[in-house]
Structure 1
Amino acid sequence: MVIGSFPVGKIFIHGVKRISKPFGDLLIWMGKHHPFIRRYIIIPPAQLYNTFEVRSKLRMLRLKQPRRIPPLSTPIATRLGADMLSEAFVFGIGAGLIYYELSKCEFFEMC
């Protein structure tokens, strides 16, 4: 199925992407005002992403791997974590819609 031929599908996808921006802003606000949420929900995915990114870039350049990757600063990690979680939110909506459409078919067979 090509989504380009369905203008309603394009509008819906654009709307879902627009929802992620206020969701990300809410996560950033919560990260600034709630230390528990910042420390245990928002920052760990950002630090993990940073570690994987640095290690993969060094591996691709065939450079020596450091023992410890320096952590991101709190504001940068908060922003990166909020962006990652808002994108995960959009991905979750898309995956849920796909699952819903497939679950309407019996045993996930073609309808």
Structure 2
Amino acid sequence: KKNWGSLGGKRKTVLHCAQRMFASQTEGELKVTRILKEKFPGATAIKVTDISGGCGAMYEIQIESEEFKEKRTVQQHQMVNQALKEEIKGMHGLRIFTSVPKH
């Protein structure tokens, strides 16, 4: 028999992550998407993927916006980081992919 007590407070997180693996979109993905849509209203594409198995610990963000035009990649990523400043505090990591729409 497995000793779940050895996980301490992580047991709930493990169970939560296992349950979320089968959901279409996690609450975290929806929240991050909503924030990015508010901060980048002209974005032509926004895709947020929880790459931590649904735990909300790590996300991959793909965003395409005219607002990134004539900005270096590091500046584009800083804009996304700033938009998600509060949410990032509770994350383990973030992968950001930004682009400018092609006309």
**Same fold, judged at TM 0.5 (above):** no
Identify the structure with the greater helix proportion.
1
Bigger-Rg structure (1/2): 1
Identify the structure with the greater strand proportion.
2
Name the TM-score, length of structure 2 as normaliser: 0.33
The structure with higher relative contact order (CA 8 Å, sep 6+) is 1
Name the TM-score, length of structure 1 as normaliser: 0.32
